Amino acid sequence: MLSIKDLRVSFRMGRVDGVVQRQQAVGRGDAGVSFDVPENTTVALVGESGSGKSVTAMSILNLLPDNAERSGHISFQGRDMLQATLPELQALRGKDIACVFQDPMTSLNPVFSVGNQLCEPLMRHMGLSRRQAMERAEALLHEVGLPEPKRRLSAYPHELSGGQQQRVMIAMALACEPKLLIADEPTTALDVTIQRQIMELLGGLKAKHRMSMLFITHDLGVVGEIADHVVVMRQGTVREQGPVGQIFASPQDAYTKALLACRPTLDNQSARLLVIDDHIAGRQAGAAAKPKDPNAPVILEASGLTKSFWLKSGVFGRKEFKAVKGASFQLRRGHTLGVVGESGSGKTTMGLTLLRLHEPNGGPTGGKVMFDGRDLLAIARHEMLPVRRRIQVVFQNPYASLNPRFTIGQTLLEPMVIHGVGQDAADREARARALLAKVGLDDSAMHKYPHEFSGGQRQRVAIARCLTLNPEVLVLDEAVSALDVSVQAQVLNLLKDLQDELGLSYVFISHDLAVVRFMSDEILVMKDGEVVEQATMEEVMERPQQEYTRRLMGAIPRGFQPA
């Protein structure tokens, strides 16, 4: 169905001394990218960020910026896609070849209802009337498993969860029954249970409609469960390709072996994760993690913590929605408390409530959060400033949490100036440079802006910003969930090193039990705002008490399982 031969893609980066500068994204030296997607087959394109996999996929329909230059050969059902005109490509987009992207919130139009967005391709490509398109849209939402599909037609994207938004994107992609579906990281930032639902949904729809699928991801665990054929890319070239069983059973390339071994697993007990370069260099896993002092002093204690939000009801009324319902825990110095659960379980709300980062008029808060002998929920707002210096937060999205108009140096210096850290400007700058070195970035980063860094590097900057104030507690809210497995391993190792060196305590919020297992000493499992299980990490792993916990563990992708 699709054949790619010797594809090369470069981007014009302006002129220097009158000479056009180009950055090669796909293809290196004499080697371009080549692979085929047969009919009714799923081909997975795998690699880290920057490997060229998304650029390769977007080249098929020329969904690249204007400064992109493509060469080679792309054939779709015998049609030369590199020579296709814009009208020809527009006729193909959404009809014969459809795309599902990583972030549905940026792919869906926020000002149009779900029904309107589903109707557009049906009316444009299939010639349906408005009424016929709405009926088809409702049937599509039912097909992708969205509850109450008729009611969802009038909903707007912000009224849906991430998993529901992704189901809408899949429904839009399938609206015209395409022959090829390009799925670009469609499950990367989703909960493991929602991720499994989306993968099973895509697999079922592929079989039902007999379509081909190009599935792009950095996670080989996901690939093993959905793909027939695997193409492994690194730095713009194909390192290895073959049937999924062959790649998992006997990978030939060192990079493929490293990708397979990088992901945290439920049975991993080593003190550090091996990263890509460790595996390629043949380094072995270290010793098991040393046990923490069970009698370390309690630094943060929550008892009966509740948080509600006001929701609009009717024209003038409102009703209370309880997001956190009576959470209690103790966090000891130098320990990590893992908080795990699906989206909507209340784990992020609980973390932000600890820091009083929710607007007080948003809804009532109850219970106690004791820190250094004081209840953080009861002290005056102006008294929170010195507390914020001691309890810091790292958010999930490093793209949104850094000010794009500040250099990295300004980002690190600002909190020190506000809180009076350091003797003078020179002292603060020296401290900022030392922190950059501690998180694995060099001095040149001081004068660069966030857009010049990858996601993993930005998350390192966010961690360095927290450390400028010598905190005692870090609340890490899904801090590694959207990172490549190799970058994720680097950041997790960094957090462990900092904890050992500085005696930090972490509240580590995640939907990924394998990551929580690597980081945590104790775990809270949350569901619908309630703590349903609470124990040491070993107890939860060996003897989970709740069916919900067992379901979270069972949803973790485990790679290829031979029949």
pLDDT digits (tens, 9 = 90+) for 513-548: 788 888 999 999 998 889 999 888 888 888 888 888
Beta strand ranges found along 191-343 (DSSP E): 212-217, 229-234, 237-243, 298-313, 317-332, 336-340
Q: Above 80 in pLDDT, residue 114?
A: yes
Alpha-carbon torsion (486, 487, 488, 493), positive or negative: positive
Average the pLDDT over 86-94 and give the result.
Answer: 88
Average the pLDDT over 181-196 and give the result.
Answer: 76
pLDDT of 559 reads 58
pLDDT in tens, 198-223: 788 788 878 888 889 999 887 777 78
Q: Above 70 in pLDDT, residue 85?
A: yes
Rounded distance between C-alpha atoms, residue 508 and residue 515, angstroms = 10
Q: Report percent pLDDT > 90 for the chain.
A: 27
- In the Cβ-directed half-sphere of 60, how many Cα atoms lie within 13 Å? 30
Average the pLDDT over 224-233 and give the result.
Answer: 89
Report for 1-10, 41-50, 306-315: range of highest mean pLDDT = 1-10
pLDDT of 129 reads 92
pLDDT of 226 reads 84
Nearest to 412 by CA among 355, 461, 483: 461
Assign domain 298-554 to its CATH superfamily: P-loop containing nucleotide triphosphate hydrolases (3.40.50.300)
pLDDT of 558 reads 61
pLDDT of 289 reads 67
Residue with tokens 């070239």, as numbered in its chain:
237
pLDDT of 331 reads 93
Provide the CATH number for the domain formed by 2-28+36-262 in this structure. 3.40.50.300
pLDDT in tens, 382-401: 888 888 889 999 887 777 78
Question: In this structure, what token pair is assigned to residue 297?
Answer: 């002093």
To the nearest whole number, what is the mean pLDDT of the chain?
Answer: 85
Cα–Cα–Cα angle for 209, 212, 214, rounded to 5 degrees: 135
Cα–Cα–Cα angle for 241, 280, 497, rounded to 5 degrees: 125
pLDDT in tens, 276-293: 888 777 777 666 667 788
**Residue 502, number of CB atoms within 10 A of its CB:** 14
Rounded distance between C-alpha atoms, residue 207 and residue 197, angstroms = 15
In sequence order, the 6+-apart residues with CB closer than 8 A to the CB of 281 are none
Residues 25 and 52 sit within 8 Å (Cβ to Cβ): yes
Residues 221 and 263 sit within 8 Å (Cβ to Cβ): yes
Q: Above 80 in pLDDT, residue 21?
A: yes
pLDDT of 563 reads 47
Identity of residue 231: V
Rounded distance between C-alpha atoms, residue 140 and residue 146, angstroms = 9
Average the pLDDT over 128-144 and give the result.
Answer: 90
Report domain extents, the chain: 2-28+36-262, 298-554
Average the pLDDT over 35-55 and give the result.
Answer: 88
Rounded distance between C-alpha atoms, residue 549 and residue 511, angstroms = 11
- Residue 466 DSSP SS3: helix
pLDDT in tens, 426-484: 999 999 999 898 888 888 889 999 888 877 788 889 888 988 988 999 999 888 876 77
Rounded distance between C-alpha atoms, residue 479 and residue 149, angstroms = 33
Question: In this structure, what token pair is assigned to residue 292?
Answer: 């923490």
Task: Kindly tell me the burial class for residue 288, based on how many C-beta atoms sit within 10 Å of its own C-beta (0-12, 13-18, 19 or more).
Answer: exposed
Long-range contacts of 254-259 (CB under 8 A, 24+ apart): 254/279, 254/280, 255/280, 256/232, 258/486, 259/46, 259/47, 259/48, 259/218, 259/220, 259/232, 259/485, 259/486
Q: pTM score, two decimals?
A: 0.78
- Residue 421 DSSP SS3: coil
- In the Cβ-directed half-sphere of 454, how many Cα atoms lie within 13 Å? 14
Q: Report percent pLDDT > 70 for the chain.
A: 95
Local confidence band at 268 (pLDDT 50, 70, 90 cut-offs)? low
Rounded distance between C-alpha atoms, residue 130 and residue 126, angstroms = 11
Beta strand ranges found along 17-103 (DSSP E): 19-26, 33-37, 42-46, 68-76, 79-80, 97-100
pLDDT of 408 reads 94
Residues 514 and 557 sit within 8 Å (Cβ to Cβ): no
- In the Cβ-directed half-sphere of 221, how many Cα atoms lie within 13 Å? 18
Rounded distance between C-alpha atoms, residue 188 and residue 216, angstroms = 10
Q: Do domains 2-28+36-262 and 298-554 have the same CATH topology?
A: yes
Q: Above 60 in pLDDT, residue 561?
A: no
Rounded distance between C-alpha atoms, residue 95 and residue 177, angstroms = 7
pLDDT of 286 reads 64
